[in-house]
Amino acid sequence: MGQDNGNCMAAALASILEIPLWEIPEFSHDDDQFLLDIQEFLASHSLYYVQVSPDEPTVCAAFKQSLGPAFHTIEGTSPRGGQHAVVGDRGVMVWDPHPDDGTGHGLVSVQCYGLLCRRA
């Protein structure tokens, strides 16, 4: 999620995929390459990644119709500043990979949901 912002996205993906963090490669700090790295990694799991606005009505409707958990990333600005990613379930944060060290958990603003979609 950008330079000097740790590995929150890798930790969020490892949690969603239920795999060890060490199986997630290090993603580039360049924004364009970062997204390509995520796509390349997820392709090996027969998935692809799509960023959608939290205001997208189709996504919100799909979340409401979900019969079970619908895990995804929620990405935005951390209380510590900088970009951050957490795990969400149907638009609600369920896990923040940042340790509880008193510097702030969660997000102060949400930019997008990161959906993991199954490849055909």
Using one digit for the tens of pLDDT, what is the confidence trace for 85-97? 999 999 999 999 9
Q: Nearest 10 degrees: CA dihedral of 28, 59, 74, 7? A: -30
> Which DSSP helix (H) or strand (E) runs through 113?
strand 109-118
What mean pLDDT is predicted for residues 32-60? Answer: 93
* Strand 47-52 relative to strand 92-95, pairing: unpaired
Residue 30 has pLDDT above 60, yes or no: yes
The overall average pLDDT reported for the chain is: 89
Domain ranges of the chain: 8-118
Confidence of residue 5 (pLDDT cuts 50, 70, 90): low
> What is the identity of the amino acid at 108?
V
pTM exceeding 0.75: yes
> Which DSSP helix (H) or strand (E) runs through 110?
strand 109-118
What's the confidence (pLDDT) of residue 82?
87
